[in-house]
Amino acid sequence: MKLKKSKKLNSYLVLTSLILGLVGLKAISPLRAENTATISSQIVNKQIAGTKVSLALPSDHCLLDINHPADKMLIESVKISIKGKNELLVQFSNCQELTDWRSGKQKYLNNFGNYQVSLQLKNSDMTGQEPATIKEICRVFKKQGDTLLEGLKPDMDKRVKEGFKNVKINEMKSMGAVHQDETICISAIFQRLKTQDNTTKDQINLTAVSILNGRLIFSYLFMPYGDKTEVDQITKTMIKLNRLNQSNNKH
């Protein structure tokens, strides 16, 4: 794919990011089961249009199992929400939360994430165009941040706290790009959700766009937001995952 098509590509990515943020809006009720989560391999290999891509998981996260009833419900929910736009590559969750959720001890997964690829772009080889493509994508993401947060960019936690003051129930608010380098662009969305048991939950969603072995990859991390939440920490986790992915996918 040539860079002259980048305008279409970026508009599509921004729209996809917003749509995929809706995945966190749907709380999944637990199904009781005896199985417990097992620590998975930290690297998952996937094929994207004939190209092998290795994807790293956060150190305390486990893969969801399509053969487990509760896991399957969540995986299918994600697939429905992105149907016709993206393909789900990997779905994962904090290991302890996954164990408790499967047994019914915990109602909802709070710390989870996934990797996806655009159906429209999965056959595009962007080898050699990585820095310019990421730069252009991040330029668009930066425009998505609300102007009221402009003066707070150096302090992530202040940006979020300020933004949450005006967020309504079941509303998403974009923070725009929160990190950029030559290999990745990370944007953030925060949400105030109403769960199935009528409680309110504030959530941070990170969306990252990177290029691995020439394939454009979407990475998502979700976490609850509270007084003790360090928003910078989840951003650092995403950056660390990207560094591992870049290292593991060098030809």
The predicted structure's pLDDT at residue 168: 73
CA–CA dist 202, 204 (Å, integer): 7
Instruction: Please give the Cα distance from 190 to 18 (Å, whole number).
Output: 11
pLDDT at 31: 43
Number of H helices, E strands in the chain: 6, 9
- Overall number of domains in the chain: 1
Alpha carbon distance 244, 42 (integer Å): 10
The pLDDT, as a whole number, for residue 201 is 77
Are residues 212 and 46 in contact, defined by beta-carbon separation less than 8 angstroms?
Answer: no
At 98 the pLDDT is 95
Mean pLDDT by 10 residues, the chain (251 residues): 43 46 43 46 88 93 93 92 91 94 90 92 92 88 57 56 67 79 89 75 86 94 73 85 92 62
Q: How distant, in Å, are the alpha carbons of 12, 13, 23, 222, 242 from that of 113?
A: 21, 18, 10, 6, 14
Give residue 127's pLDDT: 93
> What's 19's domain CATH number?
3.40.1000
Rounded to two decimals, the pTM is 0.82
Domain boundaries, position 150 = 3-248
Distance CA 43, CA 186 (A): 21
19 token code pair: 């749509």
